[in-house]
Amino acid sequence: MSRRVRNLLRSGRARGGPEWGDADSEFTYMPSAITWLLDLLPTNPICQRLIRGGSTRLRHLYVRSGYLAILMVILLFMLLQAPGGSLREVAQSGASAFTVVAFGQVALICLLTPVFMAGAIAQEANPRTWDILLTTPLNALQIVLGNLFGRLFFIIALLASSLPLFLFAQSFGGIPGDVILLSYLVAGGSALLVAAIAVTLSVTRTAGRRAVFTFYVSVIVYLAITWLIDNRLQAPVNVGSIATATTVMTPLNPFLTLQSLLDAERYVAVDPGEGSGTFVRWWFGSPVSAFIWLTVGISVLLILFSTARLRVIGTSVGQRSWIGRLLRTGRRTADGRERPVRTPGTNPIAWRETTSRASGAAGLVGRWGFVALGVIVTVVLLSIFHAGSIGLDDLRVSLLALLIAELGILTLATVNMSATAVSREREDGTLDLILTTPIQPGPYLAGKLRGLLQYLGPMLIVPILSLLIALLYTILEPERTTATVMGVGTNQFSIPMVSWGSVVGLVIIVPMFVAFAVMIGLQNSIRSKGTIGSIIAAIAVMFVTFGVIGFCGVLGGRSIPFVGPAINSLSPFNIVVGGIFPESIFLIDERVFDLESMNVSLVIGAAVAAAIYASLVFGMHASMKKSFMMTVRRLAGNR
């Protein structure tokens, strides 16, 4: 129904015009029940505004084009790698290509849905938006569904746009039509659940612009944790069989659910038997059905909760959260001030950046909770190994996964905070006030860098502390923590679980690596109009930069005897991998390999890398200082 017809119908009812079915009426009017149902989605003004506005944005165009381009490249690459021959081989090649593309589609949907829903989370940062919406004739359900499906429409459009690729893969044979449909339902259920969570966070005002990044990381961490738990719970279907049975975690992860659908021969959905309840048999025997109904059910509950919660959205404005009251953050002093007077130091920008972030309960719990969790998980892993519950190989894999996760969270947190440091002040008008003070661009940027490094100080030591604890255990238990690895040919080498060179190298490089990440974030924060755009751009730059550095380090480490470890020291991720699994990225040969030489090379390479990052930090600071005023003036008023 067009907007003109809808307004005409409403105006007729408002003037007390003839009702539906009146013989004397010039127009026939739609019943109010049908109009109410149409206003929920098809004619919902919020939904229409979001779709029309988002359809004209270049960023959405780039995302849609990139999404299709990635899927097309994956499909073509898989088909080109497939061997030709009989029709059976062609069908197997088509099925393999479809499997890879289906997994790639779910991965892209999980990565892109938070990006499209970021506006819903960030919307609560401006209370005036909700105040205006609550004064309109729209009811609570229309507001919630409009925000939800107005942004979810773009994800649905992405899924629909990839349908020709799936049909093309099906033309090779070996892919049933119901499998394609179920794979789409899995991707759609994942997008619906993530979107419903985002809208709930927006309605309850438990998030903000800085929480967009937290929401994004939480989705990735949840997928990784459920996959790791499933990997530990997997058991062979039969004795001696390579096929494993689905676990209780399968319907909780879209990738595991898709694996049970597309790789049913090796990841088998096993019915527990008649002795189990109906729900347990359904959960283990039909993981695809369980996942779809679970996501739809949770999404409906979240929508209903958001609808009921929407009208009381303003009751908590100005009140402290229960965490803040529990930790007694923001207490007033005897003279009525919010907190005691503090000396700003030589650089007020650094003082403001540190204290403003550290004063809240979320910052306090987030930083020190991360430290405590990293230490606890490391100690628990070593305790489980010491008790004999897991082997040395499992311990090495678990430690590596833990350290990679800690470095990843540290990097993403650094980029998130630095990428919003300037753009956030531009949006709320604080930057305009700061520019009226005598503070110059140089001290302003230096203060941002120093303040963020001081705030991130506790988080910097987490991967170092975890690796140091593992090293101490390696020194105390040398016999149990010595791994035998294969080198070039048939040679075997005894290597400790953790090398001291990786610990020293990590201590040297992590501070300058974080400083470099801060400057990357600040650079994109200055150039971007909004916080969300600056975060996405900074993460993309870091991902590409250290992806290339890590790949080049692996190639150099496997081909160059002594210099290889030094090349890998350019990335803290490679240092961790080389310290725990040196056989995976270093050339291990009895003619050239020496453990002490590897440690020395790691330390020297880390020192050189730290000097390189320091020079980049100073160079970027000098460049940003020169162009700061021009960039700020060019973006003035774009809030």
Closest CA to 549 of 535, 520, 569, 579: 569
Domain regions of the chain by residue span: 45-206+272-310, 360-634
Q: Are 303 and 145 in contact (CB under 8 A)?
A: yes
Helix (H) or strand (E) holding 429: none
Q: What does the pLDDT read at residue 331?
A: 46
For residues 212-236, average pLDDT: 75
Question: What gap in Å lies between CA 582 and CA 485, rounded to an integer?
Answer: 9
- What percent of the chain stands above pLDDT 90? 7
Q: Are 67 and 163 in contact (CB under 8 A)?
A: no
Report field, pTM of the whole predicted structure over 0.75: no
What's the pLDDT band for 512 if we cut at 50, 70, 90?
Answer: very high
Q: Alpha helix (H) ranges present in 162-317?
A: 163-170, 177-204, 211-233, 254-262, 278-285, 287-310
Q: Are 463 and 411 in contact (CB under 8 A)?
A: no
Q: What does the pLDDT read at residue 516?
A: 92
Does residue 585 carry a pLDDT above 80? no
Distance from the Cα of residue 346 to its chain's centroid: 37
Give the single-character DSSP code of 589: -
Q: Any idea of the CA torsion for 253, 255, 259, 262, to the nearest 10 degrees?
A: 130
Q: Which residues pair with 494 in a beta bridge?
A: 484
Q: What does the pLDDT read at residue 615?
A: 94
For residues 193-200, average pLDDT: 82
Report CA torsion sign: 403, 407, 410, 412: negative
Q: Are 393 and 407 in contact (CB under 8 A)?
A: no
Q: Alpha helix (H) ranges present in 528-594?
A: 531-559, 563-568, 572-580, 582-585
Q: What does the pLDDT read at residue 11?
A: 47
Model confidence over 352-384: pLDDT tens digits? 777 666 555 556 666 778 888 888 988 988 888
Model confidence over 38-80: pLDDT tens digits? 777 777 787 887 777 777 777 667 777 777 887 788 777 777 7
Q: What does the pLDDT read at residue 7?
A: 52
3-state secondary structure of 374: helix
The 3-state secondary structure of 220-238, one letter per residue:
HHHHHHHHHHHHHHCCECC
Does residue 32 carry a pLDDT above 80? no
Name every residue whose Cβ is closer than 8 Å to that of residue 587 and which is 6 or more positions away in sequence.
488, 557, 558, 559, 560, 561, 564, 593
Closest CA to 253 of 213, 294, 199, 217: 294
What's the pLDDT band for 611 if we cut at 50, 70, 90?
Answer: very high
Q: What does the pLDDT read at residue 297?
A: 93
Quick one: tokens of 402? 């833990």
Question: What gap in Å lies between CA 555 and CA 564, rounded to an integer?
Answer: 8
Out of 115-129, 292-306, 543-557, the most confident range is 292-306
Cα separations in angstroms, 549 against 302, 511, 544, 588: 42, 18, 9, 21
Q: What does the pLDDT read at residue 9?
A: 44
Distance from the Cα of residue 376 to its chain's centroid: 23
Model confidence over 449-490: pLDDT tens digits? 888 888 888 888 999 999 999 999 988 888 888 877 766 666
Model confidence over 376-408: pLDDT tens digits? 988 988 888 888 878 888 888 888 888 888 888
3-state secondary structure of 570: coil
Query: Higher model confidence: residue 221 or residue 491?
Result: 221
Quick one: tokens of 629? 């005023």
3-state secondary structure of 267: strand
Quick one: tokens of 375? 């230490």
Q: Are 575 and 554 in contact (CB under 8 A)?
A: no
Q: Are 569 and 575 in contact (CB under 8 A)?
A: yes
